Amino acid sequence: MKIVTYNVNGIRAAMGKGFIDWLTATSPDVLCIQETKAQPDQIPTMDFTMAGYHTYAHSAEKKGYSGVAILSKQMPDNVVVGIGIPEYDKEGRFIRADFGDVSVISVYHPSGTSGDERQDFKMKWLDDFQNYITELKKERPNLIICGDFNICHQPIDIHDPIRNAKNSGFLPEEREWIDGFMKTGFIDTFRYFNDQPHNYTWWSYRFHARENNKGWRIDYIMAAQPLENRLQRSVILANAYHSDHCPMITEISDQ
């Protein structure tokens, strides 16, 4: 199973930059999208159907904001939208699809960059998300969590850890959270295969950041510990240019 995560920063904008051609060429079995920024009737479901994919989406109530989706070649056995907490679910941040014994989640964690209120919201979400996943694992132990976590885990994951130490996305409490989350039984699949620096998934549109590779690795595919012996590879696809993020892929074996 080839699983890709991609924050597209607006699915309609990405479609205008050759997204369908990229999707066809990459041919993932499951694609987890974040920041669709589209209402249900604005998601190009027909184009995805023509490309061979079933489409499942969770849009935010606010237009042009947030939103997640899962595209899959195989029809899932079950799809769950939201985590059952209205203040989060109205922002379109979570969708899950079950394929046999494996559950794939597309999640978009909040950003705290707009001020203290949203940073507080982010930290509360992280705690509630942790609690939700802890309970879900009892029912669905083979979880794969794909998405934009809006957190760099280690100094190796950000181009300038010193100057960004007090910025949202690299705050000590955020890094502590992601560290604790992984210790509950999750594998950062990219780091499982690659311990090299200068591997990022997001770059600012300012100051030629992408050209100079001054980025942040804030997009993850986390695999629950029971899936460790099924992990095949995990790679950042840095040559995709439909967004200020780039996608990453993780492959797992059937058994």
Task: Tell me the catalytic residues.
Answer: 148
**Which of helix, strand or coil describes residue 251?**
strand
> How far is it, in rounded angstroms, from Cα 186 to Cα 156?
19
Chain-centroid distance of CA 133 in Å reads 15
Pull the structure tokens for residue 64. Answer: 């042009």
Query: What single DSSP character describes residue 188?
Result: E
Strand partners, 57: 69
Q: How far is CA 90 from the centre of its chain?
A: 18
Burial class (CB in 10 A: 0-12, 13-18, 19+), 71: buried
Which of 52, 234, 47 is closest to 146 using CA atoms? Answer: 234
Residue 203 β-bridge partners: 215
Reduced 3-state DSSP string for 205-238: CCCCCCCCCCEECCEEEEEEHHHHHHEEEEEECC
